[in-house]
Amino acid sequence: MDKMLHQKAINYLNYFCKEVKDRSVGSPGNRKATKFFYNTLKELGWQTNIQKFDAFDWENGGARLEADSEKFEVYVSPYSLGCNERAELKAASNIEELENGDFNDKILLLYGEIAKEQLMPKNFVFYNPAEHQKIISLLEESGVKAIITATDRNAALAGGVYPFPLIEDGDFDIPSVYLTAENGRKLLTYEGQTITLKSNSKRIAGPGYNVIGVKGKNLFQQNAAQRIVITAHIDAKKGSPGAIDNATGVALLLILAELLKNYDGSKLIELVAFNGEDYYSVPGQMAYIKANQDNFDNILLNINIDGAAYKIGKTSFSTFDLEPSLEERVEEIVEAHSGLVKGSNWVQGDHSIFLQYGAPAVAISSKWFIDNIDTQQITHTKKDNLEIVDTHKIVEIAEALNQLLRKI
Ligand SMILES: [Zn+2]
């Protein structure tokens, strides 16, 4: 184990998780993190580029809901606008009720069947069921002043969070809050009466950036070159230090940048700090796709790092659509490192973008997280902090990738 690299990995993690704290897209901390990444790559001799996009930071000022003199515990839906409304409460539990009811100028409670799973953001292109789009457009046409959603336990769809926000969409402009299914049933008894809902949340416009570093012999004929694109998202969920998700991934990219300082192989190596994996509209990923629209077919391989270096268990290398010779190279590297194993396939990461555009991929994560993906309650919470990171694993993965890249 290289002591100097290990110390650097610790320094990078401290910077991203302690000095910066909030890395959610649109926040000042997010811009601080991308600037640091940019400067470090530059110091290490990489040609650097940025891709800028518009976003907003979101401030959750809490909310208050009162019916008669009864107070209800409510949470503001992430990215929601604030409100201060006094209006009649009406309720809907399915699409038919939503379609046929008159909700103009009312506060609307959504509960039961219609609130069973989180609605995809209205402009999300990768996966968006027709039913979700229908609900969103009915709500937007209804004239409601504000929405309260009562959601039940749904471990598989919301990572065990209870209650979960039915709406998590910065492009949806009707203010909304959420509460537990139990409280939703209590609130339902006030249907037809006037209630008060006040929420102090707000959106603050601010840009975000992807940062890209490039190296290789073919640097000056980029279009003809075969590229290997190594990605890790630099943003974190609001309210979480985002240590495993995904400060470790970004620290790893910087350690790898150091190991590849003198890379002069035949491939073009591209290191990408993606910005937006944990933001509703994945703006950095969309910006990257737009810039690379006609360029995905020269990508030989994507290696995406997300969720790596958890203190428990081994590091998993999951391979997707690799040519046999490339698969063999990966297997050799995995076998040569005691902390690495081949992993099962999972789709909840940025490697999916490359797969959609026909490029093969390797996804690197912690085996424990892949095995417990539906039940673990660490991701996106305060529990995802530096205490659960094994910093040695960052160096081991970076050294393995360095060897792999020099064999391709
Ligand atoms: Zn992540």
pLDDT digit string, tens, across residues 138-166: 999 999 999 999 998 765 555 556 899 99
Q: How far apart are CA 176 and CA 145, in angstroms?
A: 9
Q: What is the pLDDT of residue 153?
A: 76
Q: How far apart are CA 150 and CA 198, in angstroms?
A: 17
The DSSP result for 99-143, as a single string, is HHS--TT-EEEE-GGGGSSPPPPTT--S---HHHHHHHHHHHHHT
The terminus-to-terminus CA distance of the chain in angstroms comes to 24
Nearest CA-CA partner of 79 in 59, 54, 62:
59
Distance 246 CA to ligand 1 centre (A): 5
Distance 297 CA to ligand 1 centre (A): 25
Distance 186 CA to ligand 1 centre (A): 36
Helix (H) or strand (E) holding 364: strand 361-366
Q: What is the pLDDT of residue 289?
A: 96
SS3 3: helix
The model carries a pTM of 0.92
Distance 406 CA to ligand 1 centre (A): 27
pLDDT digit string, tens, across residues 307-360: 999 999 999 999 999 999 999 999 999 999 999 999 999 888 999 999 999 999
Distance 353 CA to ligand 1 centre (A): 14
Distance 389 CA to ligand 1 centre (A): 15
Distance 191 CA to ligand 1 centre (A): 40
Nearest CA-CA partner of 44 in 231, 217, 261, 212:
261
Half-sphere exposure of 26 (CA within 13 A, CB side): 22
Distance 288 CA to ligand 1 centre (A): 17
Distance 277 CA to ligand 1 centre (A): 6
Structure tokens at 152: 């039940």
SS3 281: coil
Q: What is the pLDDT of residue 377?
A: 85
* Strands 299-305 and 361-366, bridge-based pairing: parallel
Q: In this structure, what is the dihedral angle of CA atoms 97, 102, 106, 108, given to the nearest 10 degrees?
A: 10
Q: What is the pLDDT of residue 222?
A: 52
* Strands 268-274 and 227-233, bridge-based pairing: parallel
Distance 122 CA to ligand 1 centre (A): 21
Q: How far apart are CA 1 and CA 390, in angstroms?
A: 13
Q: What is the pLDDT of residue 264?
A: 86
Low-confidence ranges of the chain (pLDDT < 70): 1, 154-161, 218-225
Query: For residue 205, how many other CB atoms are within 10 A of its CB?
Result: 9
Q: Which ranges of 312-390 does DSSP label H, i.e. alpha helix?
A: 324-336, 351-356, 367-371
Helix (H) or strand (E) holding 86: strand 83-92
SS3 289: helix
Distance 196 CA to ligand 1 centre (A): 37
In whole angstroms, how large is the CA radius of gyration of the chain? 23
- Name the burial class of residue 21, with classes exposed (0-12), middle (13-18) and buried (19+) by CB atoms within 10 angstroms of its CB: middle
Distance 235 CA to ligand 1 centre (A): 8
Contact criterion met (CB below 8 Å) for 360 and 323: yes
